[in-house]
Structure 1
Amino acid sequence: MFDIGASELLVIVVVAILVIGPKDMPAAMRAAGRWIGKMRRMSNHFRAGVDEMVRQAEMEDMEKKWADRNAEIMAKYPKGSDEEGGAAPVTPEQLLGEDMEPLAASGKAPDADAAAEAAIARAAPQKAPEHGGSPAVEDEPGLPLDTPPAPPKKGE
């Protein structure tokens, strides 16, 4: 800010000790600190005020541009329709396609019971095949804790 180097600061401290004296130096430093704090607060307050004025001016410019553009659009399309076809404004309901209509309104409502049963069948858990129950599983090695297969009987 003031570009004070170490040598200039040392000269200021030595002069202050000689002029003020070592006894009154703490009180003088406190007073100087208070004055510096007040100056910083005032400069921050001033800077914030200037920034707010700049923001307000920018907002006024943007609002003026938006108002001019809105007036231009309203002059070009006074009824909200295009100039060529002269069609009425489109409502949100007219934007929905046939596939977006509710099923009950389109007359394509499926049987509720059949749909529920199909959903339950899809969600039902499938039972895993038991070990040793099917021929494909017999070829697989058993788990360490599985019971060993029964030994074949003598005579069979």
Structure 2
Amino acid sequence: MFDVAPTELLLVAVVALLVIGPKDLPRAMHFVGKWVGKARGVARQFRSGMDTMIREAELAEMEKQWAAENERIMREHPPAPSLSAPEAESADGADMHDLPPLMVAQPDIRPEPVAAEAPVSEVEEPKTRGQGEHPL
């Protein structure tokens, strides 16, 4: 960006010290620092605004390319006609849509049979050691 050598910065510092004086130099440096910070903030805001505009332009261009590609694909491969039921006619030539619906028997739904509960068997008593069993 700016090509400022260290010797040039030293020269500016010496001139500032001679012109402003050592007493007011910290206040002047603070003032310059504020303005440099504001300038950087404005530059950052400008750069982010430009980046946003470029990004939006790229997105608009991509959307145009996508729409053109989609249109080309739709021209090359037209959608298939919808698969609807063919118009059925009865034997006497009447339209099937004019006839009342056919009645079919409702399915016979029965609840599942409930299994009878098995009788509770007697509780077995635990075996104790010492009744002829080997410990291992």
- The two structures have a TM-score, normalised by structure 2, of 0.55
- Residue 76 and residue 32 in structure 1: after superposition, are their counterparts in 2 closer, same or farther (change >3 A)? same
Aligned-pair distance for 1:73? 2.0
Inter-partner Cα distance in structure 2 for 1:8 and 1:77: 69
Aligned to 2:124: none
> If you compute each CA radius of gyration, which structure gives the higher value, 1 or 2?
2
Structure with the greater relative contact order (CA < 8 A, sep ≥ 6): 1 or 2? 2
Which residue identity is paired with 2:69?
A: R
Which residue identity is paired with 1:52?
A: T
Aligned to 2:87: none
Q: Which structure 2 residues correspond to residues 36-51 of structure 1 after superposition, within 5 A?
A: 36-51=36-51
Which residue identity is paired with 1:48?
A: S
* Matched-pair identity in %: 49
Aligned to 1:65: 65
Inter-partner Cα distance in structure 1 for 2:48 and 2:31: 26
Q: Per the alignment, in what secondary structure is the counterpart of residue 8 of structure 1?
A: helix
Q: Per the alignment, in what secondary structure is the counterpart of residue 78 of structure 1?
A: coil
Q: Note the aligned Cα RMSD (angstroms).
A: 1.9
Aligned-pair distance for 1:70? 1.3
Inter-partner Cα distance in structure 1 for 2:28 and 2:34: 10
Q: Per the alignment, in what secondary structure is the counterpart of residue 28 of structure 2?
A: helix
The alignment of Structure 1 onto Structure 2 pairs a total of residues equal to 83
Any idea what the Cα deviations from partners look like across 1:50-92, whole Å, max 9, x if unmatched?
Answer: 11111111111110011111122222333247xxxxx96xxxx
Structure with a larger share of its residues in helix: 1
Q: Per the alignment, in what secondary structure is the counterpart of residue 22 of structure 1?
A: coil
Inter-partner Cα distance in structure 1 for 2:79 and 2:9: 75
Q: Which structure 2 residues correspond to residues 1-156 of structure 1 after superposition, within 5 A?
A: 1-80=1-80
Gaps of 5+ in 2: 84-136
Which residue identity is paired with 1:8?
A: E
Aligned to 2:97: none
Aligned-pair distance for 1:11? 1.2
After TM superposition, the runs of 4+ consecutive aligned structure 1 residues lying more than 6 A away are none
Aligned-pair distance for 1:36? 0.5
Gaps of 5+ in 1: 82-86, 89-156
Inter-partner Cα distance in structure 1 for 2:63 and 2:52: 16
